[in-house]
Structure 1
Amino acid sequence: MKALAVAASIALLPGIAHAEERDYCPERPGIGTPACTIAPGRVSIETGLVDWTREDDSSLRSDTVLIGDTLIRIGLTDTVEAQVGWTPFGHVRTRDKTSAAIDRADRVGDVLLGFKANLHNPDGSGVSAAIHPFVTLPVGRGPVGAGDWGAGLVVPVTYDLSDALNLEFSPELDAAVDQDGKGRHLAYSGTVGLGVAITPAVTGTIEFQTLRDDDPSGATTQALTGISFGWMANDALQLDIGGAIGLNHASPDGEIYLGLSRRF
């Protein structure tokens, strides 16, 4: 009888593992942050293959290209994940419109360390909420790296309006690095988005963000809108494309990016 019970338990293991599996929920693409977390024992590698941002005003034009901007998420428990992020290469080209002088800089970016703890529905279904504190370490140098350590807290909340519609809200509070790379100041933002399941494999998201940055060199308020699409090639691989445009003079003019996410 004991042997029979052991055999029955072994036979049930695949079914149990399957029942505990949850849908893959990458943080890419988009401006906001989802509330879902990676299942324990799983690892998600989410990489921006290329990301181009343009800023243009009356005196300067700046183009920033990031290659391989990567976030690694590691499931620690059913509701908690660890995060490590790094930008291995960034290129910044700045042109002075008055003198026509051009400056170029190739740098690595800073390292992000953080965790996300889900407070309700870690798979992101129904109403889901989480807290996501993080710090950034000054591994890189300006203009790609910030030049000093920073910290922040995101409290993402998502709500399924229906099987095809998902509402997201991502308030964020930061100790952002000063523009001169020495010291920190207050910055805070709010991002609201609507996700749409276009097909079982394709999702689209439209988002709006306002960001207040109280830098000592001059406080600014940015307003952005973005649109992104993700395609789940299979249950562990997503490809994405997206972009954003600035809605006021203080915001970057535009951003376009491509990326992929893979779960192991």
Structure 2
Amino acid sequence: MKRIVASLMLFAGSPALSEELKLRELCSERPGLNTPACTVDPGHLQIELGLGDWTMNRQSDQREDRIETGQMLLRYGVGATTEVRFGWTAYGHVRNRDRDTGEIDRSGGIGDVTLSLKQNLRHPAEGRTGLAIALLPYATLPAGRKDVGDGDWGGGLIVPASYKFDDTVSLEFSPEVQAAVNESGSGRHFAYGSAMGVQVHLNEHMRLTPELQFVRDNDPEHHVTMSNAALSFDVQPAKMTQLDVQAVAGLNRNTPDVELSFGVTHKF
């Protein structure tokens, strides 16, 4: 009996098992244009909530202001390297003003639903140096109201990748291909692009991340290239809680002029 107990204690204290049972560092997909390769621990739920998001897009004939709140992403770890995900926007409000006549149109309601799965291929835990990579296929379901949602189903594949040099600096990449919904709200077209950025740990609890993003969108009505520059900041007031803010600027006429957002993440 003593030998059995001793064997169990030795097994429980083995480095491999201790690493598996150890709670991983918080790894939020907020904020930022990139998607991290890390996954949530098995049996744990992570909630990422966008508390407020404002986007302003000025064109020659109109100005659009979009406000969204309750942008929710639920991530649940189902394996050592796998998580399932559910995304939804609780409310969106769109205001369009004709710049010639001054006429204003307003619409609002719930947003679309996104279902996805992230499968990590290397380094599922945040914080490890070296290369981390994952696959993230997703599908968007047309649950949203007109102008707030896309109007039809869509989907795509993101390949999150990063390279962490040390505890201070890491590079991030997120190439993506999409079956994007047509601007008309019916049917799909091909779109592709990538985000890239540098994540800088200012200290143990704060990070600053400058990023760029380029997307080629082959909508039947017009083929355009969109480009963004972003700067985000996040802080962890507690081990499993994060607060964040982000500012995004459009770099050409095909991209919304500015987007400001803030939110919170917590892992249970």
TM-score range, shorter chain: over 0.9
Aligned residue among 217, 238, 241 for 2:242:
238
Counterpart position of 2:38: 36
Please tell me whether residue 5 in structure 1 is matched to residue 5 in structure 2. yes
Displacement of 1:16: 3.5
Matching residue's letter, 2:117: F
Q: CA deviation at 1:11?
A: 11
Is the 2:50–2:262 contact (alpha carbons within 8 Å) kept by the matching residues of 1? yes
Q: Which residue of 1 aligns with 2:173?
A: 169
Matches within 5 A, 1:103-118: 103-118=105-120
Given candidates 78, 81, 86, the residue that maps to 1:79 is 81
**What letter is aligned with 1:243?**
A
Match of 2:208 among 191, 196, 204: 204
Amino acid at match of 1:183: G
Following superposition, the deviation at residue 17 of structure 1 comes to 7.5
Partner of 1:92: 94
Write the distance in 2 (CA, Å) between the matches of 1:142 and 1:187. 22
Residue matched to 1:122: 124
Q: Deviations over 1:165-215 (max 9, x none)?
A: 010000000000001111000011111110000111000101000011101
Give the C-alpha shift of residue 258 in structure 1.
Answer: 0.6
**Structure 1 residue 19: deviation in Å?**
5.4
Instruction: Summarize deviations over 1:202-237 as a string: whole Å, max 9, x none.
Output: 001010000111011111111100000110111110
Gaps of 5+ in 1: none
Q: Following the alignment from structure 1 to structure 2, what is the Cα–Cα distance between the partners of residues 17 and 224? A: 39
Partner of 1:189: 193
3-state SS in 1 of match to 2:156: strand
Give the deviation of 1:4 after TM superposition: 7.5
Q: In structure 2, give the amino acid aligned to 1:67.
A: T
Shift of 1:9: 3.8
Q: Distance in 2 between matches of 1:34 and 1:134?
A: 15
Dislocated runs of 4+, deviation >4 Å: 10-13
Unaligned runs of 5+ in 2: none
Deviations 1:33-92 (A, max 9, x none): 001111101111001000000001221110000001000000010000001000010000
Q: Separation in 2 of the partners of 1:238 and 1:146?
A: 30
> What TM-score comes out, normalization by structure 2 length?
0.93
Please report the RMSD computed on the Cα atoms of aligned residues, expressed in angstroms.
1.9
Structure 1 letter corresponding to 2:151: G
Paired residues for 1:60-71 under 5 Å: 60-71=62-73
Question: Shift in Å at residue 18 of structure 1?
Answer: 8.3
TM-score (normalised: structure 1): 0.95
